[in-house]
């Protein structure tokens, strides 16, 4: 008995098709969500997140003051 015998016996043929459909479904959903106009403000706010974490952006200047 080998691993490939076990795998052959499992009847996995349907899963690749399911997986592919799942991918497409999620991907299209994401694209639709991203392109929706009403989320623009939310995206703009999200884009600012790295700049709004109260870390000094210039330690030299900030420490000197």
Given a contact cutoff of 8 angstroms between Cβ atoms, the answer to whether 6 and 12 are in contact is no
CB 29 to other proteins: min, Å:
9
- The mark string for 1-40 relative to other proteins (x by CB under 8 A, - otherwise) is xxxxx-xx---xx-xx-xxx-xx--xx--xx-xxx--x--
Name the site residues for other proteins (rule: CB under 8 A): 1-5, 7-8, 12-13, 15-16, 18-20, 22-23, 26-27, 30-31, 33-35, 38, 42-51, 53-57, 59-60, 63
């Amino acid at each position: 008995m080998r691993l490939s015998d076990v795998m052959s016996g499992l009847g996995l043929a349907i899963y690749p098709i399911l997986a592919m459909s799942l991918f497409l479904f999620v991907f299209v959903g994401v694209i639709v969500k991203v392109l929706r106009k009403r989320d623009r403000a939310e995206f703009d706010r999200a884009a600012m997140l790295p700049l709004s974490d109260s870390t000094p952006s210039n330690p030299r200047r900030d420490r000197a003051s």
